[in-house]
């Protein structure tokens, strides 16, 4: 069983141990398809300052399947838009809600809400980390391959929040991860310098062919995250060699699986024949957001 702590947060993946990650994945599998009343009378607040499809819907469905309720809280519809501080907002929300999932730009904002609200806070995406997505990715690999170990993982593209979180995952679980990015776009130095990562570092490349060679799992993400639109043309030029296309996938293992957290810009970081092809597991990956989030909500609300 996952250890439960008062007001336990999930702000970054390295707040979990390897055994807790494995237990969370087992709980997610056990809860698939089940509707429970573990969260009856409890309310999840979705505090979002970024657009969302998968994150919002999967959290709302997860909470409904646990017997609880959700409340969508866009910053534009709250007093935050009129200058109320995030500190004051967090203190008030903590007196109404049972748990908060926050999707925003700055990691420091999620950390602040966790410090001030007095209730469990989940990082549903920041510019630095995306822990729930990588947990869903791990669940997808576990279900497809029957294991997480003895596999080679290749991440190609931008060293963004997904890359940072995969770096933490490989260090915690002892996986083999190769990350290929253009020069200057590697995962964040503060992530690479964390003690766990220093003890078990990823293999960093600038050559996508070296990273994908024989890989069992191939991962990519958009080259232009929200807020980077002005860099789109330059990024398209720099990242073009990292496009996951049929030619690049041919260097991976013949049974390799392809992951993308979505939304995908088809024709940029991935081609249609890959994302719609036999290697693709992106739709199962998207579904698994629901299952891992339901497992974590069940844990922090005291039912798992």
Instruction: Give catalytic residue positions.
Output: 103, 130, 133, 221, 261, 289
What gap in Å lies between CA 42 and CA 251, rounded to an integer?
Answer: 49
Q: Which residues pair with 45 in a beta bridge?
A: 71, 100
Q: How many Cβ atoms from other residues are within 10 Å of residue 9's Cβ?
A: 21
How far are the Cα atoms of 286, 290, 301 from residue 41, in angstroms, in the given order? 27, 20, 11
Q: Are 96 and 73 in contact (CB under 8 A)?
A: no
Nearest by Cα to 58 from 278, 261, 270: 261
The enclosing H or E element of 108 equals helix 107-117
Q: Are 89 and 78 in contact (CB under 8 A)?
A: yes
What gap in Å lies between CA 65 and CA 59, rounded to an integer?
Answer: 10
Structure tokens at 261: 């957290």
Residue 119's region, left for phi above 0, alpha for psi from -120 to 50, else beta, is beta
What are the strands, taking DSSP E only, across 104-175? 121-125, 152-156
Residue 286 C-beta-side C-alpha neighbours within 13 Å: 14
The enclosing H or E element of 46 equals strand 43-48
């Amino acid at each position: 069983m996952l250890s439960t702590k008062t007001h336990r947060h999930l702000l970054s993946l390295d707040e979990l141990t390897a055994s807790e990650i494995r237990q969370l994945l087992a709980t997610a599998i056990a809860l698939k398809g089940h509707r429970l009343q573990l969260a009856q009378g409890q309310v999840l607040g979705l505090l979002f300052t970024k657009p969302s499809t998968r994150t919002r819907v999967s959290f709302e469905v997860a909470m409904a399947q646990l017997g609880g309720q959700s409340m969508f809280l866009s910053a534009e519809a709250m007093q935050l838009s009129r200058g109320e501080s995030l500190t004051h907002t967090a203190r008030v929300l903590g007196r109404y809600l049972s748990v908060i999932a926050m999707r925003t730009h700055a990691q420091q904002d999620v950390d602040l809400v966790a410090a001030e609200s007095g209730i469990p806070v989940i990082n549903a995406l920041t510019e630095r980390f995306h822990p729930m997505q990588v947990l869903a990715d791990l669940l997808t690999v576990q279900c497809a391959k029957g294991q997480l170990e003895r596999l080679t993982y290749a991440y190609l593209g931008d060293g963004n929040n997904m890359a940072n979180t995969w770096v933490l995952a490989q260090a915690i679980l002892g996986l083999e991860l190769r990350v290929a990015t253009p020069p200057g776009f590697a995962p964040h130095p503060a992530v690479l310098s964390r003690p766990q990562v220093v003890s078990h570092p990823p293999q960093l490349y600038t050559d996508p062919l070296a990273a994908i060679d024989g890989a069992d799992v191939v991962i990519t993400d958009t080259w232009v995250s929200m807020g980077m639109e002005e860099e789109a043309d330059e990024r398209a030029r720099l990242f073009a060699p990292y496009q996951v296309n049929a030619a690049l996938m041919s260097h991976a293992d013949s049974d390799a699986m392809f992951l993308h957290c979505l939304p995908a810009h088809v024709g940029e970081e991935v081609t249609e024949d890959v994302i719609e092809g036999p290697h693709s597991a992106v739709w199962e990956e998207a579904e698994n957001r629901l299952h891992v989030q339901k497992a974590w909500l069940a844990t922090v609300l005291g039912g798992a």
